[in-house]
Structure 1
Amino acid sequence: MDQRHLPSDQHPQSVPAPQPCARPANTGWAALLSGANGVRSLALAGGVILHAVNVYIATTILPSVVRDIGGIDYYAWNTTLFVAASILGSALSARLLARTGPRGAYISASLVFAAGALICGLAPSMPVMLLGRFIQGLGGGFLFALSYAMIRLVFDESLWPRAMALISGMWGVATLVGPAIGGIFAGFGVWRAAFWSLIPVAALFALLAATVLPGRSADRAPGSPLALAQLLFLTAAVLAVSAGSVSPELSHNILGLGAAVILTALLIRSERRARHRLLPDGAFRISTALGALYATMSLLAVAVTSGEIFVPLFLQVLHHQSALVAGYLAALMGAGWTLGSVASSGASGAGIRRAILAGPILGLVGMLMLAVLMGSPSRGDWLAVMPICLALVAIGLGVGLAWPHLLTRVFQAAPAGEQDLTSASITTVQLFATALGAALAGMVANLAGLTEPGGIAGTMSAAGWLFGVFALAPVIGVFTALRVIRLRPS
């Protein structure tokens, strides 16, 4: 579910021409974080913080949620619906920005997010919780995309790179704050308060937006055309897998997968015929450099998602960790991702090729370790948990090593005249892979016994099967990564 490394020109066609602010005396961090720019930075970074912290809060407290209101068979739906709604919010953010202006768009997004958090905190049952998660995801998608888009509106161009780095760095902050908030509230048995705690924060950032962001740009441009049919097919494909995953009957699971395959075929057909496309030319063909890149990115994202969703549950049930500790251990993937990105950012030549190939290889090693270790109950001592920690770091580290160079090659492989579409499509591909990975993880876990027979035996079986099956993702990723290396774009 990690979305930190996104392109700086997300939704570029929909962003109005920048309104120059007072030019900073220099392009350093002091110019970005002081005075009026400092307040603007806080407001925009706050949107990403809300979205990112909420991701880690939810994964940390979900075991407590299902113990209280039930719905273990819908466990993965909390992530699936949240991410699917984030896709819609991200895609619709351009129109929201064009219709209401920066100030109105940011306030509206904050209010939608706060409404979702309120519903989650009051949820008496899992269906109501899922409704709240969907609304949260919609608001989070708005906030996430708008925070990037508004950089061009409120900062001088010389400050854009540092503003991008600041907002991207908020995911690192979230890995520290999110599990702590979720773990503390879950530890005291008041998981609902974890959602409620986000409401005043959202209100505060809405107030900041109303104070420091511009209303409407004088040269306001209309939003870019929306690929509505493709978005509907994409979302429906994810939900079809999720619907099939609820039942422990194999026939129902196969039916859900079959429906997803049909909807994906309709998505590809619509893309080829549509005037306004969701993805650039060649995105669905593995024979192209762009297709191989998207495939590798998707497989890496799927591997991370399958672990992040269920790791807190497995650690609490099978390895006797508290909600707080389990949340932080699950966040080790995100920490490994950040570490890998920093470590490989200066690579060149053969180092880039090694970094790209290291992604799926480390992911495979980590998944196989988890398949063996996670499903074997322990007393929770660190001697037993430490190898699990190493496996989680290895998966995140592999993705982090490869990710910056995969993004760079996506830009290089952009078809002529489709550079903007290619840049914006990275978010769509990553979120779709995350949502689909969550839905498939729920299907595998439920089939393996998480709901029936449930308990310790069912959770052990689910852990082993989940990581064993999803180890196939990095296996395939090795071959797509090799193709990426061979099909180096000019």
Structure 2
Amino acid sequence: MSENHNGWRGLFTAENRGSAITLSSGVALYATNSYIVITILPSVVADIGGMAWYAWNTTLFVVSAIMGSALSARLLSKCGPRRAYLTATAIFMLGAAICTLAPTMPVLLLGRAVQGLGGGFLFAMSYAMVNLVFSEALWPRAMALISAMWGVATLIGPAIGGVFAELHAWRYAFGLLLPVTLLFAILVWRSLPARQQKPPVAEPLPRLQLLLLASAILVVSAGSLSDHGWVNFLGIALASLLILWLRHREFTAPVRLLPRNALSLSSPLCALFLTMSLLMIGMGCEIYVPYFLQHLHGQTPLLAGYITAAAAAGWTLSEMWSAAWTGKRARAAIHAGPPVMLLSLLCLLIALPAIVAAPWLHISGILLGLMLLGFATGLGWPHLLTQVLQQAEAQDKEKAGAAISVVQSFAAAMGTALAGTVANLAGINAANGSAGASHAAFWLFMLFMIAPLLAMVSVRWVTRPAQVKQP
């Protein structure tokens, strides 16, 4: 195969163009929705209440996305690419409609859960189909293109959310997703084939593993609603036990959720998934940044949304920059991520709580910290994902593709749940307003430094030459 067909141009040949655009558009829809919601959440809470449930908007969305991710292979097998994507699109639209009409926070959370299910299908099927529709030489660039849609979302999502939030019309931000999603459905109908050439064989669902994953996230989130520290720590302890049970189940059950030996400490897949999880958990603190920007730094919803989006911009830039790297450079990219994330959280720790009386220093430090936060994750991300596909056994390739989004979604939800726990316990709901928010910001970024510190250990396991399988 020529160099042109192995490079970026290869994704947009006549054979690949339709698939590349559709798969990336599905993730763009998912990501744009995420940034719309992050931007409008402070306005939603101000309108219908529910500050204690703030993080649950993301947590429930991502828990449902995990379910959609896990069910994606079955949906593809049963319906084929076109009908599977159209089904996911319809579910996503239903969730957006519920959010648009929600009179209270519980109804909004229901809509977010439905949205998450449809979004999880879209997200997982995009990754799962990479190894079905592209040659292996194009996998890193296809992964980078799909993930780069988060960068596109940074331009669109905060603008939509910010404008409607400033107009006190946050419902219209959800309503706008309805015609946009309908346009995506038309693209799916025109671009994707009705059937795969070699449909995957559907296997029974790993129901218990899915239940354990969801329960681990929800017990942490439930604990975060309490003002008593022992309840919060009990939730984290229970979640740890559920994860250990999940690990045991993966070794003993006839049906697995993850590729074979993915949770074995001697497997390179375990190191890959652990590093991915720690990086995603480290980014979980991002959920509260718009709130802190508005309540501690006096930013408008629009500006707060765009400042927060600096993290996704950093992710996109670093991922596009490093996607073509191979060998030692690829390993160096993976290795550099955790130290850069540690530096980013240090910047946010200094700038966001507004302890130092220098406004220009605050915003500069916040922008730098957020940019580095995304840069740290994106730098090695396409290589981590590619290694997952390469390290998986031949019969587990499709399971590995779906597992990428399951693990990413689980870690993102757990990061958000832990952020909610820290923020609520640190006093973000306190009556003293800005002082409580500042205290919560300090402890949030201080404690979240644990994630990149642990990733600095796990990444050494990933980048050992014996562990890295070259394409």
How does 1:68-467 map onto structure 2 within 5 Å?
68-149=47-128, 166-216=145-195, 220-306=199-285, 308-348=286-326, 350-376=328-354, 381-414=359-392, 418-453=396-431, 455-467=433-445
Q: Name the aligned partner's letter for residue 102 of structure 1.
A: P
Alpha-carbon distance, 1:141 to partner? 1.0
* Aligned partners of 1:444 and 1:465 also within 8 Å: yes
Moved more, 136-145 or 188-197: 136-145
Whole-Å separation in 2 of the counterparts to 1:270 and 1:171: 34
Alpha-carbon distance, 1:132 to partner? 0.6
Alpha-carbon distance, 1:63 to partner? 0.8
Structure 1 spans left out of the alignment, 5+ residues: 1-25
* Aligned partners of 1:120 and 1:128 also within 8 Å: yes
- Find the residue that maps to 1:169 and give its secondary structure: helix
* Aligned partners of 1:360 and 1:475 also within 8 Å: yes
Whole-Å separation in 2 of the counterparts to 1:110 and 1:419: 25
- CA-atom RMSD, angstroms? 3.0
* Aligned partners of 2:65 and 2:118 also within 8 Å: yes
Q: Name the aligned partner's letter for residue 434 of structure 1.
A: A
Aligned residue pairs total 464
CA gap of 1:448–1:158, structure 2 versus 1, over 3 A, is: closer
* Aligned partners of 1:321 and 1:380 also within 8 Å: no
* Aligned partners of 1:289 and 1:487 also within 8 Å: no
* Aligned partners of 1:59 and 1:312 also within 8 Å: yes
Alpha-carbon distance, 1:216 to partner? 4.7
Whole-Å separation in 2 of the counterparts to 1:38 and 1:350: 31
- Find the residue that maps to 1:131 and give its secondary structure: helix
**Alpha-carbon displacement from aligned partner over 1:152-184 (angstroms, at most 9, x marks no partner):** 88x786997676665443222111111111111
**Alpha-carbon displacement from aligned partner over 1:354-401 (angstroms, at most 9, x marks no partner):** 333321111111112211221116889544301111111112212222
Moved more, 446-455 or 407-416: 407-416
- 2:29 counterpart of 1:47: no
TM-score by length of 2: 0.89
Whole-Å separation in 1 of the counterparts to 2:242 and 2:166: 42
Alpha-carbon distance, 1:269 to partner? 1.8
Aligned to 1:6: none
Whole-Å separation in 2 of the counterparts to 1:150 and 1:409: 16
Whole-Å separation in 1 of the counterparts to 2:462 and 2:14: 45
Moved more, 408-417 or 83-92: 408-417
Whole-Å separation in 2 of the counterparts to 1:397 and 1:286: 28
Whole-Å separation in 1 of the counterparts to 2:19 and 2:460: 43
Percent identity of the aligned residues?
50
CA gap of 1:201–1:291, structure 2 versus 1, over 3 A, is: same
* Aligned partners of 2:131 and 2:398 also within 8 Å: no
CA gap of 1:29–1:474, structure 2 versus 1, over 3 A, is: closer
Whole-Å separation in 1 of the counterparts to 2:201 and 2:347: 50
Alpha-carbon distance, 1:135 to partner? 0.4
Alpha-carbon distance, 1:89 to partner? 0.7
* Aligned partners of 1:285 and 1:292 also within 8 Å: no
* Aligned partners of 2:351 and 2:361 also within 8 Å: no
Alpha-carbon distance, 1:416 to partner? 7.3
* Aligned partners of 1:27 and 1:158 also within 8 Å: no
Q: Name the aligned partner's letter for residue 332 of structure 1.
A: A
Tell me which of 439, 463, 470 is aligned to 1:485: 463
Q: Name the aligned partner's letter for residue 345 of structure 2.
A: M
* Aligned partners of 1:333 and 1:393 also within 8 Å: yes
* Aligned partners of 1:337 and 1:396 also within 8 Å: yes
TM-score by length of 1: 0.85
CA gap of 1:379–1:201, structure 2 versus 1, over 3 A, is: farther
CA gap of 1:356–1:205, structure 2 versus 1, over 3 A, is: closer
CA gap of 1:37–1:290, structure 2 versus 1, over 3 A, is: closer
- Find the residue that maps to 2:295 and give its secondary structure: helix
* Aligned partners of 1:249 and 1:447 also within 8 Å: yes
* Aligned partners of 1:286 and 1:295 also within 8 Å: no
* Aligned partners of 1:319 and 1:379 also within 8 Å: no
Alpha-carbon distance, 1:92 to partner? 1.0
Alpha-carbon distance, 1:32 to partner? 7.0
Q: Name the aligned partner's letter for residue 123 of structure 1.
A: A
Alpha-carbon distance, 1:109 to partner? 1.2
* Aligned partners of 1:318 and 1:377 also within 8 Å: no
CA gap of 1:488–1:178, structure 2 versus 1, over 3 A, is: farther
CA gap of 1:460–1:146, structure 2 versus 1, over 3 A, is: same
Whole-Å separation in 2 of the counterparts to 1:350 and 1:41: 28
Alpha-carbon distance, 1:61 to partner? 0.7
Whole-Å separation in 1 of the counterparts to 2:130 and 2:459: 33
Q: Name the aligned partner's letter for residue 384 of structure 1.
A: H
Whole-Å separation in 1 of the counterparts to 2:331 and 2:13: 40
Q: Name the aligned partner's letter for residue 373 of structure 1.
A: A
* Aligned partners of 1:320 and 1:380 also within 8 Å: no
* Aligned partners of 1:32 and 1:159 also within 8 Å: no
Alpha-carbon distance, 1:213 to partner? 3.9
Alpha-carbon distance, 1:429 to partner? 1.5
- Find the residue that maps to 2:463 and give its secondary structure: helix
